[in-house]
Amino acid sequence: MARHADLAAIVERQDGSEAARARVAAFLRMAAGEATVAETATALGISTQRMHELRERMVAGAVAAAE
């Protein structure tokens, strides 16, 4: 649990809208296996198609940041 709390704190410290931070936090829960794409999409009030698009963009952004 400590790791999840650490990631949540990191997300909360980031610049950006509350909605963007909520999307990232939800993505991290999904990536950790705590929620499915459908559950995450529902929690965020978006379609599963949009969640798949966001997931692709978030992973691409993480890879770019790691370069």
> Which tens digit of pLDDT belongs to each residue from 6-62?
888 999 999 999 999 999 999 999 999 999 999 999 999 999 999 999 999 999 999
H helices present in the chain, as ranges: 2-13, 18-31, 37-44, 48-66
Residue 40: C-alpha distances to residues 5, 15, 25, 64 (Å) = 18, 22, 10, 24
User: pTM (2 decimals)?
Assistant: 0.82
